[in-house]
Amino acid sequence: MTRFALLILPIALAGCGLRPLYSDGESGAVANALRQVEVAPIAGKSGYLVRSALIDRLGGAPGGAAKYRLVVTLDDSIQGFGVRRDQAVTRERRTLRSRYQLVDAGTGETVLDATAGSDAGIDIVSSEYATVAAEDTAVERLAETIADQMVARIGLYVTRSAK
Q: What is the mean pLDDT of residues 153-160?
A: 90
Q: Which of 10-14, 21-25, 148-152, 158-162 has the lowest mean pLDDT?
A: 21-25
Give the pLDDT score at 85. 81
Domain boundaries in the chain?
20-161
Pick the CATH number of 20-161 from 3.40.50.150, 3.90.1150.10, 1.10.3720.10, 3.30.160.150: 3.30.160.150
How many CA atoms within 13 Å lie on the side-chain side of 163?
4
Residue 51 pLDDT more than 70? yes
Beta bridge partners of 4: none
Backbone region of residue 92 per phi and psi (left: phi > 0; alpha: psi in -120 to 50; beta: other values): beta
Question: What are φ and ψ of residue 73, in 5° steps?
Answer: -120, 130
Average per-residue pLDDT for the chain: 85
Residue 24 pLDDT more than 60? no
The whole-model pTM stands at 0.80
Question: What is the Cα–Cα distance from 145 to 97, expressed in whole angstroms?
Answer: 11
Give the pLDDT score at 33. 85
User: 44-58 vs 128-161: helix axis angle to the nearest 10?
Assistant: 40
